[in-house]
Amino acid sequence: MPDKSQHEGERIAKVIARAGLASRREAEAWIAAGRIAVNGAVISSPALNVTKADRITVDGEPLRTRERTRLFLYNKPRGLVTTHADPQGRPTIFRALPKNLPRLISVGRLDLNTEGLLLLTNDGGLARVLELPATGWLRRYRVRAFGRVKQEALDRLRQGVAIAGVQYGPIEASLDREQGSNVWLTFAIREGKNREVRKVLESLGLKVNRLIRVSYGPFQLAALEDGAVEEVKTEVLREQIGPLAAQAGCDFEAPIMERETVPRRPPSSAPRRGAPPSPRKRAEGGERRRREPGEKRRVPRDRRSGGPRPKYPRPK
């Protein structure tokens, strides 16, 4: 007789993803590595449903309480990799983010040299739904490319195009202006396949030298500064994703787990170790002493040059 517990609750990888620790794929890799235990027993397969009554631990630590579904807009600079760790040691977006943010995952990716809007969320279920091709959200880009192209050639992309055996869906593209040897385009896609914009434009004889994503579905880059991150308000997020919230299993009622910002080391007024105290500091309190009118600036003996400064002729 089949165990009812196997048909109740949710898949273990899905629960871990919604806790904001990892994507589903990453959670499945953790399970295969023996890092996940349920009710004290290490599991080796993600084919397991769990309920709120089950005790889940990751590396021996209890799985944290799921927090409210949150979404952030990030203006990704060029030169950052969209990953938590890079085998080649390149800088990543997650190291560049403020330290007080929750553990976030990206909705899709942007290439190393692609900049602009990147959606980040603490909810793995939401990330998965938003990046699915079936969701059909429009990704809009501003493109600068070397070469020349006619609007007629761009219009033909509306029927889709096959390149090197890969079929790309309908593309909306418009020629905005020419600038020297380059052209500026607006390019909109719905699938977001690997390096899609660059490959499609290369097939038209253009070489992309700047690529900026300016919108993803209803979310806009707008005036967000380079490297800045901004949270979407809960009520706005709920309204914008609409019925996708139920499909993703979003939770807008859970609490927000505040995280403390890593404090910066305050500037110290104390003298450096081994350095003589400044003569302009009072012995008590460390406050600066104002020079009296006409009083010359005193230089500590150990900082004196040992002789008069050389005189240089004034420029005529």
- pLDDT category at 313 given cuts 50, 70, 90 is very low
Out of 54, 111, 155, 251, pick the active-site residue. Answer: 111
Domain with 88 in it: 71-240
Say if residues 36 and 16 touch (Cβ distance below 8 Å): yes
Residue carrying structure tokens 């105290």: 277
Q: What is the mean pLDDT of residues 191-215?
A: 94
Q: What is the CATH number of the domain that holds 24?
A: 3.10.290.10
Q: How many CB atoms lie within 10 A of CB 255?
A: 9
Among 62, 82, 101, give the residue marking a domain's end: 62
| Residues 106, 28 share a domain | no
**What is the model's pLDDT at position 308?**
47
Q: Is residue 213 part of a domain?
A: yes
Number of domains in the chain: 2
Sheet with 41-42: strands ordered across = 41-42, 36-38, 56-58, 61-62
pTM across the whole model: 0.71
* 235-279 confidence digits (pLDDT tens): 999 999 999 999 998 989 888 876 543 333 333 333 434 444 444
Asked whether residue 57 falls in the same domain as residue 135, the answer is no
Q: Are residues 32 and 99 in the same domain?
A: no
Contact predicate 45/31, CB 8 Å: yes
107 pLDDT band (50/70/90 cuts)? very high
39 and 164 in a single domain? The answer is: no
Judge whether residue 281 has pLDDT over 50: no
Cα→Cα distances 275→270, 271, 279, 280, 299, Å: 10, 6, 12, 14, 14
Residue 189 lies in a domain: yes
Residues 229, 84: one domain?
Answer: yes
- Say yes or no: 190 and 234 in one domain: yes
In this prediction, residue 84 carries a pLDDT of 84
Cα-Cα-Cα-Cα dihedral of 67, 69, 75, 80, to 10°?
Answer: 60
Report the pLDDT value the prediction gives residue 4, as an integer from 0 to 100.
Answer: 43
CB contact set of 189 (below 8 Å; sequence gap of 6+): 138, 139, 141, 168, 169, 171, 172, 196, 197
Q: Are 27 and 91 in the same domain?
A: no
CATH code at 112? Answer: 3.30.2350.10
Q: What is the pLDDT of residue 315?
A: 46
Angle at 117 between CA 114 and CA 121, to 5 degrees: 120
Q: What is the pLDDT of residues 42-77, one digit of tens each?
A: 999 999 999 989 999 999 999 877 789 999 999 999
**Which tens digit of pLDDT belongs to each residue from 172-183?**
999 999 999 999
Q: Can you read off the two tokens belonging to residue 116?
A: 């602009």
**Interval 134-160 mean pLDDT:** 95
Coil, strand or helix: which one is 118? strand
Helix 124-131 to helix 24-32 angle (10° resolution) is 120
Looking at residue 8, the DSSP 8-state letter turns out to be S
Report whether 161 contacts 171 (CB < 8 A). Answer: yes
CB 160 within 8 A of CB 59: no
Output the pLDDT for position 293: 59
The residue out of 62, 79, 107 marking a domain boundary is 62
The alpha carbon of 3 is separated from its chain's Cα centroid by a whole number of angstroms, namely 41
Residue 266 placed within a domain: no
How far apart (Å, rounded) are the C-alpha atoms in residues 141 and 47?
39
Q: Which two tokens stand for residue 308?
A: 């008069």
Give me the amino acid identity at 26: E
**CA–CA separation, 22 and 127 (whole Å):** 11
pLDDT value of residue 59 = 92
On whether both 54 and 128 belong to a single domain, the answer is: no
Q: Which of 121-125, 164-168, 193-197, 255-259 has the lowest mean pLDDT?
A: 255-259
pLDDT of residue 284: 45
Question: Does a structural domain hold residue 315?
Answer: no
**For position 226, what pLDDT does the model report?**
94
Query: DSSP letter at 230?
Result: E
Reply yes or no on whether 111 is catalytic: yes
The answer to the question of residue 316 being in a domain is no
Q: Decide the pairing of beta strands 207-216 and 114-121.
A: parallel
